[in-house]
Chain A
Amino acid sequence: MTTDLLASSPLSQPFFQHALLAGTPIAAACGLVGYFLVLRAQVFTADALSHVAFTGAMAALAFGCDLRLGLLVATVAIALLFGTLGRRARPDDVVIGSVFSWVLGLGAFFVSLYTTSRSTADGTAGVSVLFGSVFGISAGRATAAAWLAAGICLVMLIVARPLLFATVDEATAAARGVPVRLLGYGFLAAAGLSAAEATQAVGSLLLLGLLAAPAGAAIRLTDRPYRALALSAGLAVAETWAGLFASYAVPKMPPSFAIMAAATAVYAVTFLIRRPAATRPRIRTPAPARS
């Protein structure tokens, strides 16, 4: 009986199974990392990393190595570079902006190198890096991506509490012995890995949506940090599933589009939900001028 049901369902299709296998842990990792990106006001860092992912993949293609190697090396290296250029492993916008455009320029260079020197056998590789090709992911790649994403999730759960302390209250956390700098670097590396992973699912142009939208929605829905963290991961997974099934049902819709549409729709809906206990901030008496 189950086989009858499965035969007609997308779950019987190997390509769909692979997409779910890779997409689920990647979405969860993006949700966990995204919550801290939003809380630390580092969404721009993630945006830059998504473009770095493109350049890394193009460099790998141009030099003829594994695309995933290029993705991982580029995103993690640039994420750590951002950390060293910023104060206390918190990159500032000017640094990101400069590195970001330079890296994107490098990407353009690698694209032209790749298209002129390599055969045109895999001419759509650039497009699939930009927009993702989760339905084209092989069993081996899906398993590898799932393991790595699960590892990112585990690390994020282990560091969540001190990272939250360091994010909200850096000086106090440092005085309490929280390794603030190390956590800052570790978190940037995790963000880089997530960007590399998400590139394989939704593409480098769209991965920011998977990092920022579920987290933004979760933060709008609850004030409790760990509930928001769980909600962010849960929303990211649910939106990914919704996108994958919708894309299966309507083949004209690419999965990346469907996932992003679901993520954006959920985020938009949170603006319609008025939180009941949202007391307006009081009008503050300006502090008396000192001097």
Chain B
Amino acid sequence: MSRIMDPATEADERRVPAPGADGDGPVLALRDAAVRVGGRTLWSGVNLRVDAGEFTAVLGPNGVGKSTLVKLVLGTVPAAAGDVRVLGKPPGRANHRIGYMPQRRAFDTSMRLRGTDVVRMGLDGDHWGVPLPFPGPRRRAARARVEEVIELVGASAYAHRPIGQCSGGEQQRLLIAQALVRRPRLLLLDEPLDSLDLSHQGDVAALTGRICHREGVAVVMVAHDVNPILHHLDKVVYLAGGGSATGTPEEVITSATLTRLYGTRVEVLRASDGQLVVVGRPETTGGGHAAG
């Protein structure tokens, strides 16, 4: 049960066009990667290749290690086996080219910082010293970049309000702007749709898809529910039962693949609008908030 690779997946790996005519190589490549946390192997045998402009979702039940995959890419959790390359380097070496949005609860309503301040932190929040209050070309460039990225995510209307007073969807847009402000090549989003209502889920998913395909940023999104992002996805990594399946959503989210992953009978139904309903998987009865 520890290593399940869909044959279709490997075929898909080969179908992916040679990335970056500029010879950049894949943005993210996992080969037979495994992760061990507290002596327990969360998952193993994960193969994944993400190229520029590809939207990949990491799916699976709660507690399976979805967020751990993101941490592996960031280099905060070591790989127990296999090979991980982020922008051609070992994890942790290229974090300045990664936009990361951790899983979180909403900002406290009393948080008296404007959305622009939060976005600005993504640009130079790790520099030492206070920004000097004198006008200059660097300051103008920083402001212009913050404004530009806020415009890109469509948050201009509320970016000057205290972020604690923005709605959950508005906060997520601002945080995506924060992750994008340094023009990353890879965007890691950990459950950005969590705690949003359905219409906001659709908005944020569409925004992410647009950024991914138009700006050529590779996106890896940890998601609980595939439906809001299904139309935008290029690839899916499904983690369950210690193994994984990788491929296009049509290849992975099938009764046969999920049944093999979960080890119990799981059925995938397709509604007339293309939405997928997974029946019988453990999480639909389990619930809970523990993140993978």
Stretch at the interface among A11-19, A67-75, A102-110, A225-233: A225-233
Inter-chain contacts of B112 with A (CB < 8 A): 219-220, 222-223, 228
Stretch at the interface among A51-59, A77-85, A171-179, A241-249: A171-179
Q: Does A251 contact B (CB under 8 A)?
A: no
Stretch at the interface among A113-121, A157-165, A190-198: A157-165
Give the Cβ gap from B93 to chain A, nearest Cβ, in Å: 11
Q: Does B129 contact A (CB under 8 A)?
A: yes
Q: Does A272 contact B (CB under 8 A)?
A: no
Inter-chain contacts of B113 with A (CB < 8 A): 168, 223, 225
B71-117 residues with Cβ-Cβ distance < 8 A to A are 74, 76, 95-96, 98, 100-102, 104, 109, 111-114, 117
Structural contact, B125 and A176, CB atoms closer than 8 A: yes
Q: Does B254 contact A (CB under 8 A)?
A: no
Q: Does A224 contact B (CB under 8 A)?
A: yes
Structural contact, A178 and B126, CB atoms closer than 8 A: yes
Structural contact, A172 and B100, CB atoms closer than 8 A: yes
Per a CB cutoff under 8 Å, which of A176, A220, A226 touches B130?
A226
Q: In the complex, A173→B100 CA distance in Å?
A: 10
Complex: chain B residue closest to A288, CB-CB: B197
Structural contact, A285 and B117, CB atoms closer than 8 A: no
Structural contact, A281 and B165, CB atoms closer than 8 A: yes
Structural contact, A169 and B121, CB atoms closer than 8 A: yes
Structural contact, A172 and B101, CB atoms closer than 8 A: yes
Complex: chain B residue closest to A289, CB-CB: B287
Give the Cβ gap from A49 to chain B, nearest Cβ, in Å: 23
Structural contact, A287 and B126, CB atoms closer than 8 A: no
Q: In the complex, A288→B198 CA distance in Å?
A: 8
Per a CB cutoff under 8 Å, which of A162, A219, A222, A277 touches B125?
A162
Q: In the complex, A219→B287 CA distance in Å?
A: 39
Q: Which of B102, B121, B162 has the most CB of A within 10 A?
A: B121
Q: In the complex, A169→B175 CA distance in Å?
A: 10
Structural contact, A224 and B114, CB atoms closer than 8 A: yes
A284-B167, A291-B288 given; A168·B129 CB < 8 A: no
Give 1 or 0 for each of A202-242: 1 = CB within 8 Å of chain B CB: 00000000000000000110111110110000000000000
Structural contact, A177 and B167, CB atoms closer than 8 A: no
A171-B102, A281-B109, A288-B197 given; A225·B117 CB < 8 A: yes
Q: In the complex, A223→B118 CA distance in Å?
A: 11
Q: In the complex, A157→B178 CA distance in Å?
A: 23
Complex: chain A residue closest to B100, CB-CB: A175
Q: Does B60 contact A (CB under 8 A)?
A: no
Count of chain A residues with Cβ under 8 Å from any Cβ of B? 38
Inter-chain contacts of A279 with B (CB < 8 A): 161, 165
Per a CB cutoff under 8 Å, which of A158, A169, A290 touches B129?
A158
Q: In the complex, A46→B165 CA distance in Å?
A: 28
Q: Does A282 contact B (CB under 8 A)?
A: yes
Structural contact, A162 and B195, CB atoms closer than 8 A: no
Complex: chain B residue closest to A281, CB-CB: B165
Q: In the complex, A223→B110 CA distance in Å?
A: 11
Complex: chain B residue closest to A280, CB-CB: B165
Give the Cβ gap from B104 to chain A, nearest Cβ, in Å: 7
Structural contact, B125 and A171, CB atoms closer than 8 A: no
Inter-chain contacts of A177 with B (CB < 8 A): 95-96, 126
Complex: chain A residue closest to B198, CB-CB: A288
Give the Cβ gap from B278 to chain A, nearest Cβ, in Å: 14
Q: Does B207 contact A (CB under 8 A)?
A: no
A172-B100, A223-B162, A287-B168 given; A157·B286 CB < 8 A: no
A161-B124, A177-B95, A225-B113 given; A282·B167 CB < 8 A: yes
Q: Does B230 contact A (CB under 8 A)?
A: no
Inter-chain contacts of A162 with B (CB < 8 A): 125-128
Q: In the complex, A172→B70 CA distance in Å?
A: 12
Structural contact, A161 and B287, CB atoms closer than 8 A: no
Q: Does B196 contact A (CB under 8 A)?
A: yes
Complex: chain A residue closest to B182, CB-CB: A176
Structural contact, B128 and A171, CB atoms closer than 8 A: no
Q: In the complex, A217→B195 CA distance in Å?
A: 33
Q: In the complex, A219→B127 CA distance in Å?
A: 23
Structural contact, A158 and B125, CB atoms closer than 8 A: no
Per a CB cutoff under 8 Å, which of A158, A223, A225, A284 touches B168?
A284
Structural contact, B102 and A161, CB atoms closer than 8 A: no
Give 1 or 0 for each of B119-157: 1 = CB within 8 Å of chain A CB: 001101111111101000000000000000000000000
A-B contact pairs, 19 of them (CB 8 A): A157-B129, A159-B128, A160-B129, A162-B125, A164-B125, A169-B121, A169-B125, A171-B104, A175-B74, A175-B95, A175-B102, A176-B95, A176-B100, A176-B125, A223-B112, A223-B117, A226-B131, A280-B165, A288-B197
**A161-B131, A220-B112, A224-B117 given; 6 more Cβ-contact pairs under 8 Å:** A169-B125, A175-B95, A177-B95, A225-B113, A279-B161, A287-B195
The 8 closest A-B pairs by CB, nearest first: A291-B287, A165-B125, A171-B102, A287-B195, A281-B165, A175-B100, A160-B130, A176-B126
